[in-house]
Amino acid sequence: MSYPHLLMSSDPHDRIGVRRKDDAWLTQRWADATTRVLVVAGTRVRPVDGRIEWVEPAQAPDGVRVLLGERDGRAWFAVVTDGDVARGNPEWLPLRALLPALSSGPATGQPAEAPLVLHALGLAEWLFVTRHCPRCGGALEARAAGHELTCTQCGKTQFPRTDPAVIMVVADGEPGSAEERCLLGRQSIWPEGRFSTLAGFCEPGETLEDAVRREVAEEVGVVVGDVEYFGNQPWPLPASLMLGFVGRAVSTDITVDADEIEDARWFTRAEMREQAEAGTLVLPGGVSISRSLIEHWYGGPLPGQW
């Protein structure tokens, strides 16, 4: 079975990091009419007819030029412009609202557009929030084709950050049996019936497996033993890498923290399908790794999504 989240990461472009400081090469590729550019206003993109629009360099506005890399025999860039252009304009969308456009197929006709867009918006988010040098407060200047920020006063260089976050489906019972159950939770701000996998950030000095165990224990009071890696998905909202796991429960009593989690429940496969078909259980969207984790445990596609 293929999982939708893998399409968001499949066929990645060659990031050609060695070219980020090669000014002559960058100039040459920017002058090439086959090069394609994604225009980002602050952290937002304006799709055209529901599709991500890539323009020629001559059509791109001024801004920070970000080299994304090479794929399909051409160079791919992003230009990050001032966010004022998008402010108050509903045509410019944040990444979460762009996900349907990414999953419906890119301008190239291949699902490989997603890694380029995630790369571009991940850097745009970083450029947006990193305004001053954390050492001296000085002004920052973009270098290395948008992948470094150097302080104009003390010379300290800043690099993009990625925050590791764990996301997990927790199971109880004999694997594959009719009695096996899956643990899902919901936040109070979600519409009625919406449930998803649990998730949380990895803390300093903590292994990913221990982060899974800690987050589940903190949020719903369930003790997790064995933890198995499933897969990962870039999630620059604003700067996360979602690392998926399957955990086996050691205890089953639920005590929600009433802070992040409002409710948590165990579902058998029969209960999950019955409630999903009835619409009383609404599961995450198809491009999310949480959906892939749930369907991996379930053993096939399920109806309905956010």
Do residue 188 and residue 266 come from a single domain?
yes
Residue 144 domain-assigned (yes or no):
no
Q: What is the pTM of this model?
A: 0.86
Percentage of residues of the chain with pLDDT beyond 90: 80
The C-alpha angle with vertex 255 and arms to 254 and 256, in degrees rounded to 5, equals 110
Lowest average pLDDT, out of 90-99, 145-154, 221-230, 267-276, goes to: 90-99
Residue 61 domain-assigned (yes or no):
yes
The CATH number for 253's domain is 3.90.79.10
Contact between residue 267 and residue 280 where contact means Cβ atoms under 8 Å apart: no
Do residue 119 and residue 179 come from a single domain?
no
- Residue 5: which pLDDT band, with cuts at 50, 70 and 90? low
Lowest average pLDDT, out of 2-6, 21-25, 82-86, 251-255, goes to: 2-6
Do residue 193 and residue 117 come from a single domain?
no
Q: Which of 114, 129, 144 is the last residue of a domain?
A: 129
Residue 155 domain-assigned (yes or no):
no
C-alpha 204/C-alpha 161 separation (Å) is: 14
Do residue 81 and residue 198 come from a single domain?
no
Do residue 282 and residue 240 come from a single domain?
yes
- Average pLDDT for the chain: 92
Residue 306 domain-assigned (yes or no):
no
Do residue 188 and residue 263 come from a single domain?
yes
Residue 68 domain-assigned (yes or no):
yes
- Residue 276: which pLDDT band, with cuts at 50, 70 and 90? very high
Cis amide linkage into residue 238, ω under 30° from 0: yes
Q: Which two tokens stand for residue 96?
A: 């979460």
Largest CA-CA distance found in the chain, in angstroms, rounded: 65
Annotate 154-188 with DSSP letters as a single string. T--EE----EEEEEEEEEESSTTSTT-EEEEEE-T
Domain that holds residue 178: 163-298
C-alpha 254/C-alpha 219 separation (Å) is: 9
Residue 267 domain-assigned (yes or no):
yes
**For the segment 217-267, what is each residue's pLDDT rounded down to a tens digit?**
999 999 999 999 999 998 888 899 999 999 999 999 999 988 889 999 999
Question: C-alpha distances in angstroms, 61 versus 1, 39, 77, 95?
Answer: 43, 8, 12, 20
What SS3 state is found at 97? helix
What SS3 state is found at 85? helix
Q: Smallest Cα–Cα separation from 10: which of 112, 119, 104, 98?
A: 112
Q: Which of 109, 129, 149 is the last residue of a domain?
A: 129
pLDDT at 186: 96
Contact between residue 278 and residue 264 where contact means Cβ atoms under 8 Å apart: no
Do residue 216 and residue 113 come from a single domain?
no
Do residue 111 and residue 222 come from a single domain?
no
Q: Which of 129, 147, 174 is the last residue of a domain?
A: 129
pLDDT at 105: 46
Contact between residue 133 and residue 156 where contact means Cβ atoms under 8 Å apart: yes
- Residue 107: which pLDDT band, with cuts at 50, 70 and 90? very low
Do residue 104 and residue 30 come from a single domain?
yes
Q: Which two tokens stand for residue 137?
A: 């407060």
Do residue 39 and residue 114 come from a single domain?
yes
Q: What is the pLDDT averaged over residues 105-121? A: 70
pLDDT at 7 over 70: no
Do residue 233 and residue 287 come from a single domain?
yes
Q: What is the DSSP letter of 285?
A: P
Contact between residue 143 and residue 155 where contact means Cβ atoms under 8 Å apart: no
Structurally, how many domains does the chain consist of? 2
C-alpha 199/C-alpha 122 separation (Å) is: 20
- Residue 305: which pLDDT band, with cuts at 50, 70 and 90? confident
Residue 37 domain-assigned (yes or no):
yes
Do residue 9 and residue 124 come from a single domain?
yes
Residue 143 domain-assigned (yes or no):
no
